[in-house]
Amino acid sequence: MVVDDSAVVRGLVSRWLAEAPDIEVVSLQRNGRAAVEAIDETNPDIVILDIEMPEMDGMTALPLILRKKPGIPVVVASTLTRRNAEISLKALSLGARDYLPKPEGQHGLVSADDFRQQLLAKIRALGMPRPGLARKTQAAQVSVPTPVRPDVAITLRPASSVRPRVLVIGSSTGGPPALTRLMEELGGKLGGIPVLITQHMPPTFTGILAEHIAKASGRPAAEGRDGEPIVAGRIYVAPGGHHMLVQGGAEPRIRLDDGPPVNFCRPAVDPLFSSAAAVYGPATLALVLTGMGQDGANGARSIATAGGTVLAQDEATSVVWGMPGATARAGVCSAVLPLDQIAGRVSQLLMGLRT
């Protein structure tokens, strides 16, 4: 189901989805009220929900949709204003699975193409299978075949014998609520180590995420600035549009890089992890949380090779087990844990307890 008050957006999105052989649109609605009323009849697998709409906006419709169809993935779409970024993060805390920045203004075809690619990727990652779907019979629903993934035994490796001096975290889809919860649990247990976070997010969103993490953890948190010293006790969030790396020297510093995307992402997790491994070596502790794709797996290998410790979120508690799954299957993790057990394990490692 696609919900947007703009007929142009509804038409464009439905045309894009119609071109995808594995996706079907079952409903196009112009406001939240119409979407809520159509949920039972159309029974969508996933909802793309605009935030700003007349009659009933996305934030009002979200809990009503989730009440009518508990567990349905909802992706909120908004333009990149501070107000909409705040609303989008609020929507994630209320049960939306992901967010989608909308193209606007004079950005033209490049932004529209990026929006299209992200839209298709998020639908495929979050959409549930619809048994018996043989072909498209009408315009409008999103149906995605279940990916076939053979069972792969996960090989764990021992945690580092060196007490961590830095905590690096990577996340994507489902990451903001997971990060907020984790930082709330870890805030008083972090001791004197710095925390560096890369969450796949556009500009504006990352600054607000840092504010939310500061409130949750009770620790100073902000977007990393190029050349800024990495100080114990502080939390640094990679700013949207820039890779955040650790630069070595007598005093480790933040280095921002606006080079090409890595794993189709900027910021990406791999550059953060690999650079942290190069600087902190076996004293690096990394967490790979929920997210689609494989970003972070190569960087986690670098950390393991350097003798550091890698933990991954388990499949059951991940919104999408892409990034943590790829890392776990790479055989570089010391543990694969439910989200509510990660803070406790991190606390043990920070105290020098390996088991």
- 107 pLDDT more than 90: no
Q: Which of 39, 44, 42, 85 is nearest to 63 (CA)?
A: 39
* CA distances from residue 267 to 23, 39, 54, 103 in whole angstroms, order as listed: 28, 36, 34, 19
Share of the chain above pLDDT 90, in %: 82
| 65: confidence class by pLDDT, cuts 50, 70, 90 | very high
Residues in the chain: 355
What is the set of active-site residues?
Answer: 172, 200, 295
Strands of the chain (E only): list them: 2-3, 28-29, 47-50, 74-78, 98-101, 166-171, 195-199, 221-223, 235-237, 243-247, 253-257, 284-288, 309-313, 335-337
For 166-350, CATH number out of 3.40.50.180, 1.10.150.20, 3.40.50.150, 1.10.10.10 equals 3.40.50.180
Q: Where in the chain is the domain with CATH 3.40.50.180?
A: 166-350
Q: How far apart are CA 141 and CA 160, in angstroms?
A: 48
Extract the tokens encoding 266: 């900027």
Q: What is the 3 state secondary structure string of 194-250?
A: CEEEEECCCCCHHHHHHHHHHHHHCCCEEECCCCCECCCCCEEECCCCCEEEEECCC
| Predicted TM-score of the model (pTM) | 0.90
Q: Where in the chain is the domain with CATH 3.40.50.2300?
A: 2-126
* 168 within 8 A of 273, measured Cβ to Cβ: yes
| 63: confidence class by pLDDT, cuts 50, 70, 90 | very high
* 254 within 8 A of 226, measured Cβ to Cβ: yes
pLDDT digit string, tens, across residues 233-290: 999 999 999 999 999 999 999 999 999 999 999 999 999 999 999 999 999 999 999 9
- 177 pLDDT more than 60: yes
Q: Is it true that the peptide bond before 267 is cis, omega within 30 degrees of 0? A: yes
Q: Which of 151, 153, 147 is nearest to 330 (CA)?
A: 153
Q: What was the pLDDT predicted at 110?
A: 41
| CA atoms lying within 13 Å on the CB side of residue 169 | 26
* Unique residue bearing structure tokens 């935030």: 51
* 267 within 8 A of 243, measured Cβ to Cβ: yes
On average, the pLDDT of the chain sits at 91
For range 120-135, the mean pLDDT: 66
Q: What was the pLDDT predicted at 328?
A: 98
Q: How far apart are CA 315 and CA 14, in angstroms?
A: 31
* 218 within 8 A of 172, measured Cβ to Cβ: no
For the CA atoms of 321, 326, 331, 332, what is the dihedral angle to 10 degrees? -90
For range 65-87, the mean pLDDT: 93
Q: Which of 89, 34, 23, 88 is nearest to 61 (CA)?
A: 34
* 5 within 8 A of 30, measured Cβ to Cβ: yes
Q: Which of 27, 26, 75 is nearest to 49 (CA)?
A: 75
What does CATH list as the number for 2-126?
3.40.50.2300
